[in-house]
Each structure stands twice: as structure tokens, then as C-alpha cells.
Amino acid sequence: MKEVKLVISRYDPAEDDRPHYEKYIVPWKYGLTVLDALNYIKENIDSSLSFRQGCRSAICGSCALRVDKRGCLACKTMIAEKTGEIIIDPLNHYKVIRDLVVDLTPFYERMKQIQPYLVRNNTVQMTGKEMFIRPEALAEAKNLRDCILCGSCHSDCNTLDVDNTFCGPAALVKALRFASDPRDENKGRLAQAVELGLYKCPVDQECEFACPKEINIRRGTIERLRYLAVKNELAPLPEHKKLINSVLSTGGIVPVKAKPTTEMFPEYIKKFNGEPQAEVLLFLGCIINRRKQNVAEAIINIFQNNHVAVHLPGKVTCCGSPFMRIGQRDSMRPFVEKNFSIFNEYASRGITDVVTSCSGCNSTFRHDFPKLAREFEIPLNFRIYDVGEYMSEKIVLDVEGLKSTNIRAMYHYPCHIRASGLAENIYINLIQKIPGVELVKVPKSGYCCGGGGGVRAAFPDLADRLAIRRIEIAKESGIDTLITNCPFCVLSFERVLQLKEETGEKMEFRIIDFYEMFSEAYGSFPN
Amino acid sequence: MEIITHDIIVIGAGLAGQMAALETSQSSDTAIISKVHPLRSHSGAAQGGINAPFGNATPDDWEKHAFDTVKGSDYLADQDAVEILCKNITSRIVETDSFGAIFDRMPDGRLAQRPFGGGSFPRTCYAGDATGHEILNTLYEQFIKNNVKVYEEWLLTSLIVEDNACIGAFAINLKNGEAAYFRSKAVIVATGGCGRVFERTTNSHQSTGDGISMAYRAGAQVCDMEFVQFHPTTLVGTNILISEAARGEGGLLLNGDNERFMEKYAPAAKELAPRDIVVRSIQTEVNEGRGIGGGEFVSLDLKGLGRERLLEKLPQIYKLAKDFANVDVAEACIPVQPAQHYTMGGIRTNNRGESSIKGLFACGECACVSVHGANRLGGNSLAETLVFGKIAGAKALEYIRKKGTPGILKEAVGKEENRINHLFRSGDGSIAEIRKELQKVMWEKVGVFRNEKDILGALKTLRTLEESYARAGVKDGSRIFNTEMMQAIELGFMLDNAELIAKGALQRRESRGSHFRTDFPDRDDNNWLVHTIFILKDGKPHPSFEPVRITLFKPEARKY
């Protein structure tokens, strides 16, 4: 008989000082859900195991809990055949009543802050005839009504980890559901959303990954609300205005302090002999181009080692991500036009692979630009890749040339990479090609560096707390090195490590840039 | 024991309970008590829609709706009650719409209506295929707006009755295990059905017939319990509901020979015949070896709708099939089988929601008004909750106007405390095992096809299970969120419901609507155009009969 092991958090406040884990063996069969397994334990092993359950079809939201540290519905979570062991915890950010049962009161109370009901001043006459509303007028609200208020999003929210004044994702979904309903007469909803923390979300999408109803929380809700806030002149926030002024005057969110990479290298870089195995357009993004020249050099070096010829156009501009993230979608046109016309121009010469080194740019090009380009009728004759993705999937990677190194670390999976639909394993597999690197499994991917969504600019303390929290989580697993491949993450971590050092609370911790590590393993080219 | 006083308590926070509480809380001190948070109520699982004669798709009026309902009920519905349902439902939907529910609409802005089983033409208003979820959330939003008092996760254990008047109820706060005496001038029961009595059911784990059993134990009349609706299309194995809307939108039923078998059984309505007929057709195919691969299921084919329409009209079905059966409905058929779905019988009420006990009201699935008779039409359950929830609330308000706060029935307190404490004795046998056996015997012997021998066998097993239950004890000694204790109390309720269903099924020697006796396969209007009534007497259900109120349509043969 096939079996699966469940490690379940048990806690009875009348008996226990704190929760502890207990292990249970459950027979496995195809289609076994976590809820089935819990019921098996309750009926056959230990009748005192406490959990909530209801419809067992993902509509009532009763059975929300965490499986391997991520919020989900027990009834909807199938246990795969090869699962050795799974860890079951109660939802995070709530007081545990017993075992897997939490007190959701704070979640419901937070919801009440946004007036979660239709506000109408006139009363409807009960004539037996409905209001006439065209379906398109309700289309947006209709898309948001799937929320079952299970609390999974709230459990996995990174911001709530460090700031419990934030109203949380579900409340914002509800806010937009009413703000987009033509029948609603509460004109203050957007101002309220801004007040309750709309700009405190680093758009890391943890909530969206947890959501069992697949609600589009990040782009469809948070960024949409931000867009509406900008339209209604409730945003951008003053700090965001500074940020975008920098983009408008210098073409990037970070000022030019040292010589940018694009001025250090020729437009065409091919140091190897013979035919290239690929030819790419490398879009560095402002942070790597202006601040992290060493990362840019590392990427170029990796490509040279692998006989990939690199085009490095100097005239590209900001990817526009800061504008999108804070709600200024209407300012995007020049960025799309300029960058995509350059990409198209290269494509007309046969260079159709655009590779970005910054995951923020990548995610913006992949998700936001195509829609905008359609609106502006700009063709897309090229394909966007992330550098790591390109290394993993588009070229034959030289593995022989990787020299051994001695690193024990955890990989920090950047949210923008995940938002681009790129699996964590792409990067883990790449790292593991370097001999001598020991990667420690993360308790859960998706912890936030605090660097996304404009949080660092508007709420620097919050961003710092997120970064510190992320480092602490790694330390709790006995790890003092993180490898990551997003410049926002790297800058965030470096900043808090420096801050801590300045205040005399030095954290023994090291951040390694993924590309620099790779480049070092190859040695500089030609070697 | 703590004493908590309110003018009116409403038990159950699904649609009927919420509707009643919204009505009463405007002008009385109302509290709603529910063993789950209101949003977890099983009303939220209703998928396909809510019937109302708006006539937006085809000209319609309340009489046509009433006729379809009465015919669907196999003429067992009380027609004056049906008249109230059909005359009021449009106003209730307009009201819900004005509360902010997002119903699907026609291009010109009117409410969209889809075809449903047993309806002469499209009459079912809907919110995608999550209509219950939409209305439940909308009413709960009104709860928040109006600050209605809710005791959530309090399990009701019994009603308090003195001189045939209900003056409160006992409940346990699951969070700390403490019991309280709720004193009130009136009690409205809205606890839903008892689907969990059956092994195969679409119902939530919480649908254990609590209110029906509590009212029965308190001496109220319980009516037509033998009429149990089975739903034709539920996922094999899990019995998760696949809405009738799937067939309303054009889904086909196919047997193992790839034959559209409904053409044989209901040549005109085919897949959109009422549920009882479709269920028996599927079960007949299965029993005669024409299930898929000879198995216990047939196929629901939605491929013809195309992916775009499936995502637009049946997004939940699309996801349920993917998540729970690993089927892409745009590419493959869904394996489906019948399972228990709805409890037509329940606490007998008049057309104002009053039970046979003064001050005790009932509405929704736990009540038997009766608007569904022997078979409920899809789309009429949500309609009933809104219409009769409001009516019961209004009547309760009227009732309490003349009432002072009732006294405390002291002897009941000790008795109830003993009863609960007794559950924690060190008994033998497991609550879960008894429950499983109960569910199995009810499905196998009092299911879709019934006969005297099977039912007698089931009753015999039920007696044994009663004895085992009397010996079994709750092993979990903690008083904090003790779900084993909750399940033990629920099992007691389930045993009552099961007995009433089986006894009703045994004595009704005919076949009508959902109740099919293979030994009496025909409808018998001469002897059985009556409601089955049970009341508790000397610890046993005592039967009587009540004629059906026929005011609009003479019974005739039921063909589709």
C-alpha cells in the first residue's frame, strides 16, 4: 500500500504551551486531498485532531490552512503520489484556537474597514422590475466576486508579516469590487484604499499564489486600484513623484553616478572566435547599467564564455516598470514606443532574442508591454527572455568550464522572475551546475525583499523590515548566504545589511549575485 | 450556565436565516446563531440559479412558474404556498439586486435567464454558476451594514419549549466549549437539509439536519421526510455537484454505448427533465450495465459548448472538473453519477413559516411549507429561501409584539448539561464508524430505488446504530473547538433524520417524484395525495396525514 506522511501542527491551549508537530501515516490513493487525509486521521488515528471543513469543493472557504507553509484550501489540495512528507500548519497571521483552527476575526474586522457593502443613497422601488445595467458595466466587478474570504491571501501576505496596519489583499479585492460597480455611490473608496495601505504592497504576488480562486490580485486588483487612484489624483504619492521625475529626467530610477555599462562596452560584443551559437540583444535595465556594472560585466562574460554574441544598444530607455507599479499606466507610451521600436529594428536584422538582466524589466516587458503595444499598434517581432532562462533553455551551456567553488546558500526566488512565469527550478538547476555549491531547500519560496512595487520609495521602513525579515527567515534555517538574481532584491538586502552594520547590529550575512557567481566560476574571457 | 437574551434568535446563517434576520433585525433585538461563519453556510454552494418569472427570455407570469413547480413536485406541493413563492420571488431578486448582487445580464441590461430542468422555458436568473455564493455574500454584506448580531461557531443542541411555546435554545460555543441558554420570545430555524445522512451527497459536512431533529424532539410536526432529492450529475467518487446549469447550457448525457439515453426516458425535455426523472434514468442505465465501461457512472458531455462559452457561463464547473476530476471539459466528458442533493421534507410550517409549536418558525431547506412537494425544481431552492425567509421573519416580528421576555426553564438547564456531559463518557465504538454505517445503509437501502424489504432492513440497522450511539463516547477530552463532540451531537441529529426518512418511505406505498418504490411503481392519487406527518410520541415517530392543498391545478399525468 502506498503511504504519505503528514507532519501536522498540534496545539491545545488548555494542554500545551506552544504548538508542536506530530507525524501521521495515511494510505495514499489517487485523488487524495489534504482534507481527505485529515479526515482519515480523525476517523482512524486521532479523533481529537481539530480542523474546519465544509463543502469540500472549494466554495465555502472553511478549510483554509497551510500546506508546506503556503496558504491553500485543504479540500482542493491534492497529494501527489510521490509526496514523501507534507507539513500542515494553521494559517499564518492569526491566533490559533486549536490545532489547525485559527481565529479569523482580525481578517473579517479588517474587511469591515472598507465598507464591504453596496452604498446607495436612493432606495429602489420594489416594482418587480430590476435595474437596467448593461453587462459590460458590471464586467470588472463580476471578475472580482469569486473571493470566498477563506483568508489564505492574508496568511501569506508578506507586508502583514511586518506591518499589521495594512488592510490586506482580500479587503482590497472587495474595495475594487465595489469601486467598479456602477451602482455604488461611495465616492471615497479609492481614497480609503490608499489610506488603508494600497501602496504598501510590494506586488510580490504571494497572495495571488495562495488564492484558491485564482483571483487576479496583483495586476487586476492592486495595480488597477493604483491606476484608478492616479486617475482620481489621489496618487502618485510624493515620494513616487520624485522617483518618476528621476526617470523622466535621466531615463532611469537610479541616478547616474558612475559610467554606465553601455558606455564601457561597444554596441557589439564578440570576443570569441568562430560562429556564435546565438546572438542576443541585451537589455540591462537602469539599475544594472548604472549601479551594478559588475553584474553587467558578469553577464557579458557568461555569454562570451558560451559563444553568445551580445548587442548592447545604448539608446534604450527605462522599461517603465515604476510607472506601471504605481498606477501611471497612462504615462507608458514613450517607454513602449522607444524600447520596442529599437527591439523591432534589431529584429529586422535577424536579432529577435531580447534578453533582460533585470527581472523587473523582464516582467514588465512580458506582461504589461504586449497589451500596451497592441493599444498603440506597435508590432512585436521579437521574443523576451531572462538571462537565466536563456542560459537554461536557449543555448548549450558550457558546464565543463565551471570551476568549483565552496558556497553553502539558499536561493532567493525573486517575485518578478516568478511573475514572468519562470520556474524556481530553472535557477536552482543552473546554480547546481557549479561544482561545490550546496543549496539548502527553502521553507517556502516567495518571501519578499521589500524592493518591489514602489514600497522602498514610499515606505522605506516597511521595505527595510521586509528585507530584514527575509534574512532572518534564512538565518532561522541556519543559512547565512542568499543567492539571487534580481537587482532590486540585491540592493534591498545590501541596504539593510549596511544599515544594521551602521547601527551596531551587524548581521553576519552575505548576498551573492547569481550572475557574478556564475561569471566567477567561468573566469574572465578569454581565459 | 450563561443566559443570553434576545427578542428573536435565528438558527442558521444561510440564505433563509440571513433573510429572516435581516427582516427581524430592523425592528427587534435579533441574533443569528450558526455553527459555522455565515459565509461558510451551504447556501453558498448553490450553483445554477434562481427561478423567477421575469419573462425576460420568453413571456412568463407567476402562474406558469407555479404550474411548472407543481408539476415538478408531482402534485404534492401545496399550491397556495407555491402561489406565494411565484408571486414574491421577482421582488426578492430585485431587492437582492439592489443590495449589490451581480447577476448575469442581457445585452440590454435586464436580468439574463437560462433554461433549467422542469421549466417550460428559460426562467432561471443566475450569477455565472456561483449564484448561491453571490447571493450569500450580498446578504452578508447587508448584515455588516446593518450590524446584525451573529454568534458564529455556536452549535445549537436543543430547543427550549414550555406549554407548546418555544422560548429559547441551548447552544455550545465551540471556541471554548461553554454552553449557554439563549432566551428569546421566538426562534426561527433555518439550518438547512440533512444530506449527510447519505453516503453519496453533494451536501457540505455541516448538512446534518440539526434543526429538523431539534424541532422534532421538541414536539413539532415534521413532514414528507421520505422525499429526498438526488441530483443527476455529481463527480464520481467525491460527489461534488455539477450544476444543472451544465445541462441548461446544452450539456448532454451519454451512456457507455455513447447513446444520448435521455431521449428514451423524456423524449421532449431530454436532459432538462426534472431531477428525479433524470436520476432514475441514469441509475437504470447503470443498473442495466450501460454505465461507462460498465461502471457506476455516465458521461456529461460539455464539449459542444466550446471553451469560451464554458469559461463565460460555467467557470466554476470548468474549475471543479479540472481540480477534482482532472478533466478539461472543453476536451473531454465528465464522469457523473447521482447523489443526494436536497431535503424536500422538513419542519412542517404554514404559509407564514409557523411550525406546530408557538413561537417556533422555520424557513429554507429545513422547512416543509411545502413548495417542492415530491420533487424540487432546480432554481426553486434559492427562491424559497428568499421568499419564505422574509415571510417567516415578518411573522416572527408580529408574534413577539404581544410577548414579554419569557422566564427561564430551570429544570431544562441541568438536563441539557447532563446530556452534553454524558457525551464525554468513556464509551466504546467510534462516532465516525457509526456515521459511516448510517450513511452506507441509507444510500444502499433508502436511496434512488426503494422497496419494502430494503427499507425494513435499513430500519433494523438504524436501531442497532441507535444502540451503538448510546454506548459510544467522545474520546477527545478537550473543550476547546472539539469537533469530535460536534460530530457526536450531529450524529444524534442524523439518526433522527434517517429514521424519519426511512419510516416515511416505508409507509408511502406508491411512487411519486423523488420517492420511487419498485414494489409500488405508480403514483396513487386516490390514497397518497397527502403529506406524511410525524410527531414524536413516547419516543417514537407517530404518523398522521394531511391532504395536499390543491387550489390551482388538478393533478394529471406527469410527462416530459
Q: Which residue of B has its CA nearest to A55?
A: B204
CB of B238 less than 8 A from some CB of A: yes
Cell numbers for B295 = 461502471
Q: Does residue B199 contact residue B440 with C-beta atoms inside 8 Å?
A: yes
Q: Does residue A462 contact residue A450 with C-beta atoms inside 8 Å?
A: yes
Which residues lie closer than 8 Å to B202 by C-beta, 6 or more apart? B45, B195, B231, B234, B239, B240, B241, B339, B340, B341
Burial of A414 (0-12, 13-18, 19+ CB in 10 A): buried
Q: Which residue of A has its CA nearest to B204?
A: A55
**CB-based contact B110 A104, cutoff 8 Å:** no
ipTM confidence: 0.95
| Among A47, A116, A124, beta carbon nearest to B94 | A124
CB of B131 less than 8 A from some CB of A: no
Q: How far apart are CA B325 and CA B292, in angstroms?
A: 15
Give mean pLDDT, residues A162-186: 95
CB of A76 less than 8 A from some CB of B: yes
Q: Which residues of B touch A101 (CB under 8 A)?
A: 481
Q: How far apart are CA B190 and CA A509, in angstroms?
A: 59
What confidence score (pLDDT) does residue A124 get? 57
3-class state of residue A17 by DSSP:
coil
CB of A238 less than 8 A from some CB of B: no
> How many CB atoms neighbour CB B108 within 10 A?
10
**CB-based contact B320 A181, cutoff 8 Å:** no
| Among B110, B433, B480, beta carbon nearest to A130 | B110
β-strand partners of B159: B169
At B205, the amino acid letter reads H
**CB-based contact A42 B432, cutoff 8 Å:** yes
What confidence score (pLDDT) does residue A243 get? 87
Q: Does residue B399 contact residue B359 with C-beta atoms inside 8 Å?
A: yes
At A382, the amino acid letter reads F
| Among A59, A104, A129, beta carbon nearest to B133 | A59
Distance from CA of A65 to the nearest CA of B (A): 15
Q: How far apart are CA B424 and CA B472, in angstroms?
A: 9
What confidence score (pLDDT) does residue B254 get? 97
Q: Does residue B278 contact residue B298 with C-beta atoms inside 8 Å?
A: no
- Under the banding of pLDDT at 50, 70 and 90, the label for residue A527 is low
Q: Which residue of A has its CA nearest to B434?
A: A43
Q: pLDDT digits over A465-512, tens only?
A: 999 999 999 999 889 999 999 999 999 999 999 999 999 999 999 999
DSSP one-letter string for B62-103 = HHHHHHHHHHHTTT-S-HHHHHHHHHHHHHHHHHHHHHT---
Q: pLDDT digits over B35-93, tens only?
A: 999 999 999 999 989 999 999 989 999 999 999 999 999 999 999 999 999 999 999 99
Q: Does residue B133 contact residue B143 with C-beta atoms inside 8 Å?
A: no
β-strand partners of A512: A483
Kindly report whether the peptide bond that precedes residue B547 is cis, defined as omega within 30 degrees of 0. no
What confidence score (pLDDT) does residue A127 get? 60
Q: Does residue B285 contact residue B261 with C-beta atoms inside 8 Å?
A: yes
Q: Does residue A412 contact residue A449 with C-beta atoms inside 8 Å?
A: yes
Q: How far apart are CA B270 and CA B493, in angstroms?
A: 38
The 3-class SS string of B437-473 reads HHHHHHHHHCCCCECHHHHHHHHHHHHHHHHHHHHCC
- Sequence length of chain A is 527
**DSSP code at position B354:** B
Q: Show the DSSP H helices in A291-445 as ranges.
A: 293-305, 321-326, 333-348, 359-363, 369-375, 387-393, 415-419, 424-431
Give mean pLDDT, residues A27-47: 96
Instruction: Mutate one of B437, B478, B487 to test the A interface: name it (highest A CB count within 10 A).
Output: B478
**DSSP code at position A273:** S
3-class state of residue A496 by DSSP:
helix
Q: Show the DSSP H helices in B296-339 as ranges.
A: 307-313, 315-325
Which residues of B form the catalytic set?
A: 275
- Is residue A155 pLDDT above 70, yes or no? yes
Average pLDDT of chain A is 94
At A377, the amino acid letter reads E
CB of A101 less than 8 A from some CB of B: yes
| Among A59, A115, A142, beta carbon nearest to B102 | A142
Q: Does residue B184 contact residue B7 with C-beta atoms inside 8 Å?
A: yes
Q: pLDDT digits over A439-449, tens only?
A: 998 778 889 99
What are the contacts of B460-467 at 24+ separation with CB within 8 A? Answer: B461/B437, B462/B438, B462/B495, B462/B498, B462/B499, B462/B502, B465/B434, B465/B437, B465/B438, B465/B441, B465/B495, B466/B495
Q: How far apart are CA B347 and CA B529, in angstroms?
A: 19
Q: Which residues of B touch A145 (CB under 8 A)?
A: 102, 127, 130, 133-134, 137
Q: Does residue A212 contact residue A72 with C-beta atoms inside 8 Å?
A: yes
> How many CB atoms neighbour CB B540 within 10 A?
11
Q: pLDDT digits over B402-431, tens only?
A: 899 999 999 999 999 999 999 988 888 899
Q: pLDDT digits over B428-448, tens only?
A: 889 999 999 999 999 999 999
Q: Which residues of B touch A53 (CB under 8 A)?
A: 205
CB of B404 less than 8 A from some CB of A: no
Pick the closest to residue B94 from A440, A133, A203 (CA basis).
A133
- Is residue A126 pLDDT above 60, yes or no? no
- Under the banding of pLDDT at 50, 70 and 90, the label for residue A431 is very high
Q: pLDDT digits over A242-258, tens only?
A: 988 888 888 888 888 88
Q: Which residues of B touch A148 (CB under 8 A)?
A: 39, 44, 133
Q: How far apart are CA B255 and CA B299, in angstroms?
A: 6
Region of A523 on the Ramachandran plot (φ > 0 left; ψ -120 to 50 alpha; else beta): left
CB of B556 less than 8 A from some CB of A: no
**CB-based contact B206 A129, cutoff 8 Å:** no
CB of B164 less than 8 A from some CB of A: no
Helix, strand, coil content of chain B in percent (nearest 5): 40, 20, 40
**CB-based contact B39 A183, cutoff 8 Å:** no
Reading chain B (560 residues) residue by residue, the pLDDT tens digits are 999 999 999 999 999 999 999 999 999 999 999 999 999 999 999 998 999 999 998 999 999 999 999 999 999 999 999 999 999 999 999 999 999 999 999 999 999 999 998 999 999 999 999 999 999 999 999 999 999 999 999 999 999 999 999 999 999 999 999 999 999 999 999 999 999 999 999 999 999 999 999 999 999 999 999 999 999 999 998 999 999 999 999 999 999 999 999 999 999 999 999 999 999 999 999 999 999 999 999 999 999 999 999 998 899 999 999 999 999 999 999 999 999 999 999 999 999 999 999 999 999 999 999 999 999 999 999 999 999 999 999 999 999 998 999 999 999 999 999 999 999 888 888 999 999 999 999 999 999 999 999 999 999 999 999 999 999 999 999 999 999 999 999 999 999 999 999 999 999 999 999 999 999 999 999 999 999 999 999 999 999 999 999 999 999 999 89
| Among B109, B145, B474, beta carbon nearest to A133 | B109
- Under the banding of pLDDT at 50, 70 and 90, the label for residue A123 is low
Cell numbers for B549 = 392543498
Which residues lie closer than 8 Å to B317 by C-beta, 6 or more apart? B47, B129, B242, B243, B245, B246, B302, B310, B329
Burial of A85 (0-12, 13-18, 19+ CB in 10 A): exposed
